[in-house]
Amino acid sequence: MAIPYKFRKLPIEKVFRDPVHQYVHVQHQVIWDLINAKEFQRLRRIKQLGTASFTFHGAEHSRFSHSLGVYEITRRICDVFKRNYSTEKIADGWDDSERLIALCAALLHDVGHGPYSHTFEHIFHTDHEAITVAIITSPDTEIYQILNRVEEGFPEKVASVIMKTYPNPQVVQMISSQIDADRMDYLLRDAYFTGTEYGTFDLTRILRVIRPYQGGIAFAMNGMHAVEDYIVSRYQMYVQIYFHPTSRGMEVVLEHLLHRAHVLYKKDSRFFEKTSQLLLPFLEEDFSLEDYLRLDDGVLNTYFNHWLDSTDPILNDLAARFLNRKPLKSCRFQPDTQMALIDTMKAIVSEVGFNAKYYTGINSNFDLPYDFYRPKRDKHRTQIELQQKDGTLMELSKVSPLVKALAGQEQGDHRFYFPKEMVDQSSQDNYDLFGESYQQFANHIHNGELVE
C-alpha cells in the first residue's frame, strides 16, 4: 500500500466499550497492531491491583484495561492540544507529529508488569520498568517488530519516553508526572471497580484546562479546583484502598509463600520441577525475557494450587491461606520506639507454635499525594503548574491551601502482621496449653500500646 505504516489509519475507527471512558477509540493501524501483540494481550491475565481484590471484590480488572485507559486519556489530551494549542497557532505549543510516540508510550508503559509485581520483584529481583523497556526494544518481541515498522529507532524513542529521557517534556509529562494519564486512569478505574466514590474527580474538566507550555504540561488557573479535587482523590484512594490492611495481610502471606518456595528449591528442586515448570528459571535466578513473558497471575495461582500437595507443612499451609483468603491480621506500630515490643510479640507467636519467620511480618506503605519540586528529595519530580492569563506559572501549593496542607506530607503506616489465631479464640485449638501466651499477646493490643 502507498501510505507508510506510520501514517496508516484504520479504514473505520475501532472502539472498545470501556466502563470508565465509555469508548476507547483506535485510529492508527500501529496502535491496533500493538493491542493485538501477544505481549500486550498477556496483560489481560494480570490483575491491576494484585491482592486488593481480596478486600474489594469488584477490583478484578486487569492491567490490559488500565493500559487501554491510559492510552485513551493520552489520545484525548493530544486532541485538546491539537485543537487549541498546536504549534501552528502557538510557539511553545503542541507539535502533533509527537502524537504517535505519545500514544505508543501510553499504551505500553506497563507492559513489563508481571504477576503480583510488587511482591514477586522483591523475592525474585525482577524489575518491571526495566522489563518494559526490554520488551519494547528487544528485536524478538512482537511489540518491537511493530514499532520498528514505524521507523528505525522508533522503539528506542518510545522506551525513552518511559525512561523520561525523551527530549520533549510535554510527551514525557503526559505519561509520567504528578498528574498524568497513568494516574488519572488508575484513580478513576480503581474507584469504579472497587465501587468507591473517593477516586472520582472531574476528568472532563481537567481536559478543559490542561495545556502545553515550553517546559511540559500546565493547567489553566481557573482549573485550580479541578486539580485540587484530583489531588484529594489521590490522597483518599491511597489511604482507603491501596493501603488497606487486609490486602497487605494477603501480600505478606504471598511474600512468605514465595520465599518459602525459594528456600525449599535450593534444598530440593524435584518437587518444583514437577509442579512449577514456568517458575523454574526464577527459582534458579536465571531467566530470559521469554521466560518472564510466560508468567501471569493464573500461572502463580496454579502452582500454589499444586503446592497444596507439598509435604512441606509451611509451603502447603501458606498456599492454602493464599488461595482460600486467610490474611494475616495486623496492628499499627512505630518502628522508632516499638521494635522491642514487636520482638516480644514475635516471641509469643513462636511460643504457641508458629514459625515466626513465615507467620509474622512487617509491612509499611507510604505515599506522597503531592509535592512541589525539592531538589534534595526527588530530583525528577515535576511540580504541578498553574498558568495565569499572562502565561506565567504558579506552583499549585502556592495557590491552593488544600494542596499546601498535603504537600510533602507522606501518608501511610507501619503494620505488624501475625496469624489471626493469635487473637481469635474460636480458632485456638491449643488454648489449654498456651492460654496465657494468647492472653499476653491480646493484652499488648487491647491495652492500646498498638492500634488495630
Touching a copy of itself, residues 45-64 (CB under 8 A):
45, 53-54, 56-58, 60-62, 64
Least distance between a copy of itself and beta carbon 305 (Å): 6
Pairwise CA distance, residues 50 & 46, whole Å: 8
Site for a copy of itself contains 266 (CB under 8 A): no
Other Cβ atoms less than 10 A from the Cβ of 362: the count is 15
Q: Which of 121, 202, 291, 312 binds a copy of itself (CB under 8 A)?
A: 202
User: Could you tell me the three cell numbers for 37?
Assistant: 501483540
The cell 504558579 sits on which residue?
394
Render the burial of 270-282: b for 16+ CB within 10 Å, e for the rest: ebbeebbebbebb
How many other β-carbons are positioned within 10 Å of the β-carbon of residue 288?
12
**Is residue 117 within the footprint of a copy of itself (CB under 8 A)?**
no
Binding positions for a copy of itself, 395-424, rule CB under 8 A: 401-402, 404-406, 409, 411
**Which region, judged by CB under 8 A, interacts with a copy of itself, from 227-235, 328-336, 354-362, 379-387?**
227-235
Nearest distance, CB of residue 166 and a copy of itself, angstroms: 28
**Smallest separation, CB 68 to a copy of itself (Å):** 7
Residue 28 DSSP SS3: strand
How far is residue 87 from each of residues 74, 83, 91, 211, 226, measured CA to CA in Å? 18, 10, 5, 12, 26
Q: How many residues bind a copy of itself (CB under 8 A)?
A: 75
Whether the CB-CB separation of 94 and 170 falls below 8 Å is answered with yes
- Binding piece for a copy of itself, criterion CB under 8 A, among 105-113, 124-132, 224-232, 261-269: 224-232
Whole-number minimum distance, CB 39 to a copy of itself, in Å? Answer: 9
Task: Name which of 172 and 293 has its Cβ closer to a copy of itself.
Answer: 293
Of 3, 152, 204, 267, the residue at the interface with a copy of itself (CB under 8 A) is 204
Could you give the CA distance from residue 16 to residue 309 in angstroms, rounded to a whole number? 42
Burial class (CB in 10 A: 0-12, 13-18, 19+), 2: exposed
Q: With respect to a copy of itself, which residue has the nearer C-beta, 166 or 201?
A: 201
**Residue 291 binds a copy of itself (CB under 8 A):** no
CA-CA distance, 369 to 384, in Å (whole number)? 12
Q: Can residue 193 be called a binding residue for a copy of itself (CB under 8 A)? A: yes
The Cα–Cα gap between 243 and 233 comes to 14
Binder of a copy of itself out of 4, 7, 10, 41 (CB under 8 A): 41
Name the minimum Å distance from CB 405 to a copy of itself.
2
The residue within the footprint of a copy of itself, chosen from 325, 357, 381, 398 (CB under 8 A), is: 325
The answer to whether 186 and 48 have CB atoms below 8 angstroms apart is yes
Find out whether 156 and 137 touch, Cβ atoms under 8 Å: yes
> Does 23 participate in binding a copy of itself (rule CB under 8 A)?
yes
Say whether residue 42 binds a copy of itself (CB under 8 A): yes
Quick one: how many helices (H) and strands (E) in the chain? 23, 9
Kindly give the residue spans of alpha helices, DSSP state H, lying in 138-244. Answer: 142-150, 154-162, 169-175, 181-194, 203-209, 224-237
Q: Positive or negative CA dihedral for 434, 439, 440, 446?
A: positive
Question: How far is residue 417 CA from its own chain's centroid?
Answer: 22
445 in contact with a copy of itself (CB under 8 A): no
Contact pick of 81, 94, 219, 235 for a copy of itself (by CB under 8 A): 235
3-state secondary structure of 50: helix
CB of 380 to a copy of itself, least distance (A): 25
Among 28, 50, 65, 382, binds a copy of itself (CB under 8 A): 65
Under rule CB under 8 A, residue 341 binds a copy of itself: no
Q: How far apart are CA 209 and CA 230, in angstroms?
A: 13
Residues 121-160 that bind a copy of itself (CB under 8 A): none
- Quick one: 129 or 202, whose CB is closer to a copy of itself? 202
> C-alpha cell of 29?
493501524
- Cell numbers for 21: 471512558
Count the residues in the chain: 452
- Determine if 365 is a binding residue for a copy of itself (CB under 8 A): no
- The verdict on 296 binding a copy of itself (CB under 8 A) reads yes
Binding segment for a copy of itself (CB under 8 A), chosen from 116-124, 160-168, 234-242, 264-272, is: 234-242
Shortest reach from residue 165's CB to a copy of itself, in Å: 31
**DSSP secondary structure code for residue 222 in this structure:** G
State the minimum distance, in angstroms, from the CB of residue 302 to a copy of itself.
Answer: 4
Only one of the segments 18-26, 144-152, 356-364, 434-442 lies at the binding site for a copy of itself (rule: CB under 8 A); that segment is 18-26
Q: Does 7 bind a copy of itself (CB under 8 A)?
A: no
Distance in Å, CB of 19 to a copy of itself, minimum: 3
